[in-house]
Amino acid sequence: MEATAKARHVRVTPMKARRVVDLVRGKRATDAVQVLRFSPQTAAEPVRKLVESAIANARVEADKYGERFVADELVVTTAFVDEGPTLKRFQPRAQGRAFRVRKRTSHITVVVASPEVAAAGAGTESTKGAR
């Protein structure tokens, strides 16, 4: 069983959100929620809510197909952050000049799966981003 949760247009810069997402990738979902609950970064709250949403989506999907659901067995298999649209604002500066302020947004995606699905998918997954 695999479940996905996405949050779009989150007002956190992608670079800061990636630091938080890297903390939980590959961990058990319940452990990831606990790590994010006590993490001091601002991006930890939306990512925690997203992991909890993915767990809830997995519960709904298990009920739909009549499968057994145990939240402690779920693993965060995939978690990534894409760049969203940038809001451009201007701030006044000295001598009548204007300074551009870029307010960046993120699209965050979290996928949780049961361990047998995660192990089966690990062998077929491409090495995207590997150097």
Residue 125 lies in a domain: no
Provide the 3-class DSSP secondary structure of residue 99: strand
Residue 129 lies in a domain: no
Q: Is residue 124 part of a domain?
A: no
Note whether residue 14 is domain-resident.
Answer: yes
In our burial notation (b when 16+ CB lie closer than 10 A, e otherwise), range 65-91 reads eeeeeebebbbbbbbbbeebeeeeeee
Asked, for residue 131, whether it belongs to a domain, the answer is: no
- Domain contains 87: yes
What is the tens place of the pLDDT at every residue in 1-59? 899 999 999 999 999 999 999 999 999 999 999 999 999 999 999 999 999 999 999 99
Full domain range(s) for residue 6: 2-116
Cα-based distances in Å from 125 to 34, 67, 121, 129: 28, 25, 6, 12
The CATH number for 111's domain is: 3.90.470.10
* Tally of domains within the chain: 1
Q: Is residue 123 part of a domain?
A: no
114 burial level (CB within 10 Å; 0-12, 13-18, 19+):
buried
Q: Are 86 and 102 in contact (CB under 8 A)?
A: yes
**pLDDT, tens digit, 9 for 90 and up, residues 97-128:** 999 999 999 999 999 999 887 677 765 554 45
The verdict on residue 121 lying in a domain is no
